[in-house]
Amino acid sequence: MRNLSVVTEFILLGIPHTEGLETMLLVLFLSFYIFTLMGNLLILLAIVSSAQLHTPMYFFLCKLSVFDIFFPSVSSPKMLCYLSGNSRAISYAGCASQLFFYHFLGCTECFLYTVMAYDRFVAICHPLRYTIIMSHRACIILAMGTSFFGCIQAIFLTTLTFQLPYCGPNEVDYYFCDIPVMLKLACADTSALEMVGFISVGLMPLSCFLLILTSYSCIICSILQIRSAEGRRCAFSTCSAHLTAILLSFMPVVLIYLQPTLNPWLNATVQILNNLVTPMLNPLIYSLRNKEVKYSLRKVLQPVAFLPGR
């Protein structure tokens, strides 16, 4: 059978309606990217260096920080490259890789938030059985499971998108390769695939969100039964950080993939919020509301503050 995929590279047109703003966007996005890397590296360092934080909750937070480093790194380096005046071209394989890793890391984070909600459910609703249920072995299996199912989902979506023939236009009206904009360039009828992709991308976060909602409904019921005001405040404080991170992560997915008509400018704005701003805010969300993380961060940063010459 003749291969119709004659396109060997694509041209990323960038964020719609931002012509002439390249320098400002370069400075802004580079700042976001640097703060994202620094913030998540500090969280990693704080957790790894403190024996007090070697618990299931912080194990999953550690994995989230690793993924928050890699997630913006899928699209940001190329975007910063062409904003600085370099080539906007990306190879066919590079485009497929962008799409795969974007959905692999995004789906894995989605599953990871669900596991973190389950961890809080066990800790608050079944505190006496917590160490048995969330054993070291169980944590490893859950962490590996999030990556495995994220990988399966990403392989399915990437195969779905790139098994189509691309034999004509190669200008991607976006700042990275994602499913909606790639399907517009295909030289074939994509209506059936759009429906399959819509169901697949919509069902996965919806299922995770319902599981998280179930976990937090049980958690709230348990918290309200705590007689001590200090105990209720402590439980709410721990859970509120996680809930804030979940809302910041899930809302962009709903706005991008489940809207009835495609709006490139809105998509790009929300996607940047999801790709750069949310991973940058996660370290702040989890550290500002958590005394243990703040204490560990102070211990990590103190030696730096007292270096000779400072």
Model confidence pLDDT, tens digit, residues 252-277: 766 666 665 666 667 777 778 788 88
Q: Which residues contact residue 124 at a Cβ distance below 8 angstroms, ignoring those fewer than 6 apart?
A: 219, 222, 223, 235, 239
Cα 239 to Cα 178: distance, rounded to the nearest angstrom: 32
Question: Does 47 map to a domain?
Answer: yes
Q: Which uninterrupted H or E stretch holds 89? A: strand 89-91
Question: According to the model, what pLDDT value does residue 308 have?
Answer: 54
The confidence score (pLDDT) of residue 1 equals 40
Q: What is the pLDDT of residues 123-180, one digit of tens each?
A: 888 989 999 999 999 999 999 999 999 999 999 999 989 988 888 788 888 888 988 8
Which domain range does residue 136 map to? Answer: 9-294
Q: Bin 53: left if φ > 0, else alpha if -120 < ψ < 50, else beta.
A: alpha
Instruction: Work out the mean pLDDT of the chain and round it to a whole number.
Output: 84
- Residue-level pLDDT at 264: 66
How many domains does one find in the chain? Answer: 1
∠199-141-65 over CA atoms, to 5°?
Answer: 75
Instruction: For residues 79-106, give the mean pLDDT.
Output: 92
- Assign 105 a pLDDT band (cuts: 50, 70, 90): very high
How many C-beta atoms lie closer than 10 Å to residue 257's C-beta? 17
* 168 in any annotated domain: yes
Cβ count within 10 A of residue 141: 12
- Residue range 64-78, pLDDT digits in tens: 999 999 999 999 999
- Percent of the chain at pLDDT above 70? 88
Q: Residue 21's domain is classified under what CATH number?
A: 1.20.1070.10
At residue 13, the pLDDT reads 86
Q: Is residue 305 part of a domain?
A: no
Is residue 103 domain-resident?
yes
Higher-confidence position of 248 and 197? 248
Instruction: Give domain status of residue 301, yes or no.
Output: no
Q: Mean pLDDT lowest for which of 34-43, 75-84, 297-306?
A: 297-306
**pLDDT attached to residue 277:** 85
Alpha helices in the chain (DSSP H): 22-49, 56-73, 76-83, 92-125, 130-133, 136-162, 179-183, 191-224, 229-257, 264-272, 278-288, 291-305
| pLDDT for residue 2 | 46
Instruction: Indicate the length of the chain as a whole number.
Output: 310
* Residues with Cβ within 8 Å of residue 269, at least 6 apart in sequence: none
The verdict on pTM exceeding 0.75 is: yes
CA 91 – CA 10 distance, rounded (Å): 6
- The answer as to whether 241 is a domain residue is yes
Chain CA centroid to CA 207, Å:
17
